[in-house]
Amino acid sequence: MSINSSIMSRGIAGSYDNEAVAIWAITNTFFLWIRACNTGSILWSLLCTLNYFYMVVSWGGYSFIINIIPIFVLGCMFINKFNMKIYIAYSVFYTVGTMFSLTIVFVNYQVFHSSEHMASHLTFIAMNAFVLLNFIKDNIGADHVAAVMRLAQGFVVLLFFLLFIFLTMSGSTKWSGRSLSLIDPSYAKEHMPLVASVSEHSPAMWVNYW
């Protein structure tokens, strides 16, 4: 962090903007998330959630956390590294974090409407379906439930995909400028010139490093 030009321009060497405290919050949240996954402890999961809540309060970039952690959980399921420690960690993080986010005025019900939160909801549903299907498979036998598991997984993915399309087309949810700028770097310059003009979106000068 001490030589990251974006942090320097918005932190100690800059104007003490939100990022001066938010970057610490995001890195600490990921650190505590790893501890929660390694231990399966509810305490570490709650501490991770409290840091996430601090991130929600301090900076709109909390959307990176609420997307990266669900992607991590989905990735663990796909590569067969998922376990009950991760299940406990994400269950606490998702439920408590969502409730905390609802108390913040500028977030509020965007937790349910914003496309940036959809990954967290999908992951929570998929994770519980995954655990339930594995429980059935372990108690009934793989031969009898293999076809049902494939059908159920396909149904969940298709249902969420159709629901997301419906909400987007009806205007109930939409991609934020932050997400669109991440996908298309030229989006901010063309559609949000004020956002594109701030210092962290500009190349750093070498004098900052010195």
Q: What is the pLDDT of residues 60-119, one digit of tens each?
A: 888 889 889 999 998 998 888 889 999 999 999 999 999 998 888 888 777 877 777 888
Closest CA to 208 of 1, 49, 14: 14
| CB distance 54 to 25 below 8 Å | yes
Tokens 């594995």 sit on residue: 134
User: Could you give the CA distance from residue 73 to residue 66 in angstroms, rounded to a whole number?
Assistant: 11
| CB distance 45 to 93 below 8 Å | yes
- For residue 151 the two structure tokens come to 């059908």
Per-residue pLDDT averaged across 139-145, rounded? 65
Query: Is the pLDDT assigned to residue 149 strictly greater than 90?
Result: no
Query: Is the pLDDT assigned to residue 14 strictly greater than 60?
Result: no
Question: How many structural domains are present in the chain?
Answer: 1
Residue 42 burial (CB count, 10 A): 14
Task: Note the pLDDT of residue 157.
Answer: 73
Task: Note the pLDDT of residue 48.
Answer: 95
Determine the structural domain holding residue 166 and report its residue range.
5-209
| CB distance 30 to 62 below 8 Å | no
